[in-house]
Every structure is written in C-alpha cells, then in structure tokens.
Amino acid sequence: MAKKQLQEMDVAAGTKQSKTAVNANAKPAMPMDTSVAGSVEDLGGPTPMNYKPDDDSAKLKTPGGTLKQVKDVVNKGAKPAEPMKGMKEDEEIVDEVIEEARAMRATGAGITGGDPLMARERTLEGISRLKSEFGPEFHLHMYTSIPFNPELAREFADAGLDEIRFHLLGLDAERYRSTISACSDSGILTGVEIPCEPDKREELLSLLEELRSFDISFLNLNELEITVGNHENMELRGFNLTTEITAGASGSNELALDMKSRVNAAEQGLQDPLDGDSREPYGFHLKFCTAVFKDAGQLRRRFLRRGESTISPHEVLTEDGTLIFGAIDADEGSKDDWISEIAQETGLPRRFLLWDDENDRIEMPLVIAEDIADEIEDPVFMIEVLPTHERTEVTAVRLNGFEEE
C-alpha cells in the first residue's frame, strides 16, 4: 500500500486515526475514566527481563485494593435479591406435609416428585422433621430414578429414610448398581419399582435374571395405566384398556403375573410354569400392584382415614371416603340472620351450621337442607367434597328452584 494513502500517527499528541469512509464523521473517542481504579496495580508475573525458571518470578501476586475498589463500584447501590413471588419456603412446604399427615392419622409417607434428589436438601429436611414429629415408627419411603453419588446414601439413612425404590430408566440396571449397594449397606430397605410394560416382555424377563446379583429386597411391578397425559403415546405403542372400568393397559396384568409366578416357583423349588425349567431362588420378593387396587383401594383408604379424622358435625362420610353436606348460598351481610333463623325453625344447634366464606355459603347437615329446600327461594345444594386439604368439590346438586311443568 502506498505511503501517501496512510495518515501519519502523531504519537506525542495522541493517536490520529486514518480517515476513511467508515469513520469520516466519527467523533473522537472519549478518554478512559481512571477514577474507578485510581492507579494501576502491578500483579507481577513473568517478563522477558525478569523471568527465571528456578524462582518465583512467574508467580502472580494476590489482587489487593484494586480488586476491592472495582467490586465496591459494581455493587454500589445494589439491593439484595428478593425471593420469587408465589414460591413457598422449604419450611412452609414441610409444615403442610406434617399437617396433612396428622389430619389423616398417617403411619408413614412416600416421597416422590418430580424427583426428590433434585431438591436433596429439602428432602433431607423433610425426612428429619417427619421422623422428629411422628417418631421412628413412622415409615418413610422414597422414589427416585437418579443413580446418585453412593456417598449420599449415608445422609438419607442418618436423616431417617426407611426405604428407597429405584425406577430404572431404560431398564439399565447396571447404572444403579453402586448406588443400590450403598443404600442397602446404609441400612435402607432397597428395591426396584417399575411399570410392567407389555411390549417389553423379553427385556423385563431378562431384568429378573440380572437383578439376582443386586443387593435388593424387592421388585415392585405396577400395572401400566393409560391416562389423559400418556394416552397418545400408549395408542402409538398399540395399547388398549383392559376393561372399561380400569385404566390398566391390556397385557400388563398378564405379564406381571407371569413374572410373579416365575419368582414364586423358584422360591418354592418348583418348575417354572412358563417354560418348565427349574431356577434358583432370586433372593428378592416380587409384588404386583394393579390399577384397580391403586385407584379404588389405596386412594379410597386414604380418603376414609382423612375423612374420619377431619369430619365436621354437619358432614357425612360416604363409603367412598367423600364428605356430603347441605348448603345455602348467602352473603356476609345476611349469614347471621340465616343461621339464627335456621337454628330457631329447625331446633338445630348452631355448631351444626358453618359459614364458608370462601364459597359464600352456609353449610349444614344434608337432611336439614332437604327439609327446608322447598320453603325458601334462595339456592339450596347437596355438596360432595374430597376430604383433602383443598376440599376439592366433586358434586353440587341443586335441591330447589325447579319450575313445575
């Protein structure tokens, strides 16, 4: 490039930048602000003049005042971070769990998720507090699909975890071997719990043999269920419902029973009913949980236990574990007059009349609501709720206000 095409650089007075089409109208650069640092701090380090291989000439000094000044300027005026709105503190979450366990007179609890290992500290705190609140006989079991660091097993054992159930992702048991062994060695009852998928028959039968060498006490098989969330995937895999009254996938029950028969036959020294072979005992027991048992059995018993513990004087506990009562729509201004009039006209003690400010209604025994429904114009209902903390409403039947034909 010709020398005349270059602009001279005046080093003494400050750099003169070459004029081009790009920067022809550009303003001069602002001078560097040195007010923050104040001065340059020499952190040492090697230079061509001072470096020697046999001394500390290449070692950097620890930053001193300069770094602190920069930190102070950056953080000046900054406010502490605020917690996210709507997020509950760990202690509040555990308090709600304890309240629910006490309300249903629970003898134990299962810890699931998501995955409890994704919130390990919260999980450990919850285990410790539940054991402290309800005593060592309160049985705690946890589900996880994470082959976590085996060293963490002792933390869960010390916190009070009684049992752990591993969901083997991809049925890849080997990934979990060291974690399973550590949990068992720590005194935690350890096992595997997986869905019984009928299109994985050969893989599940092979898993039975692979688990012989694992330090587990049980294998739990759950009947594969078709739900609102997974029905499209289940349809693509060719699964249908077993019957119209269960969510179980066709073939899941049969495969689970075949696997259970194989384990039981080996335990009793009998020939396998599937292939006639004789096998050594597996060293663990196999349990099968059907969709009907889980939905109609476990959930119903839970509702019944909680309903018996939390039922109010005006409510009736049904065989299904729900609570039924009557209700009259009202407002804050008229509720006291309503309660007084109902108590006077029916002779019902006031403790059987409850004001529900969340739903703006007066709750009462259903038999009373049915008796007065035809005598008043205001809406009267039969209400059915689940005996949970949220008291989810499942039925509301209007008892009056129908026009005669």
Which residues lie closer than 8 Å to 171 by C-beta, 6 or more apart? Answer: 194, 200, 203, 204, 207
The tens digit of pLDDT for each residue in 239-256 reads: 444 444 455 577 888 899
Give me the phi and psi of 394, to 5 degrees please: -110, -20
State the DSSP code for 396: E
Length of the chain in residues, anyone?
405
Beta-carbon contacts of 97 under 8 Å, excluding residues fewer than 6 positions away, are: 109, 126, 130
Handedness of CA 355, 356, 358, 361 (dihedral sign): negative
Q: How far apart are CA 344 and CA 134, in angstroms?
A: 44
pLDDT band at 17 (very low <50, low <70, confident <90, very high): very low
pLDDT single digits (tens) 208-230: 999 999 999 999 998 886 554 54
User: Which residues neighbour 8 within 8 Å (Cβ) at sequence distance 6 or greater?
Assistant: 16
**Are the CB atoms for 130 and 138 separated by under 8 Å?**
yes
Q: If pLDDT is split at 50, 70 and 90, which confidence band does 36 have?
A: very low
Burial class (CB in 10 A: 0-12, 13-18, 19+), 353: buried
End-to-end Cα distance, the chain: 104
- Give the global pTM: 0.58
pLDDT at 88 over 60: yes
All domains in the chain, ordered by first residue? 90-296 (3.20.20), 311-398 (3.30.70)
Strand, coil or helix: 65: helix
The set of residues, in sequence order, having a beta carbon less than 8 Å from that of 128 and lying 6+ positions away, is 159, 160
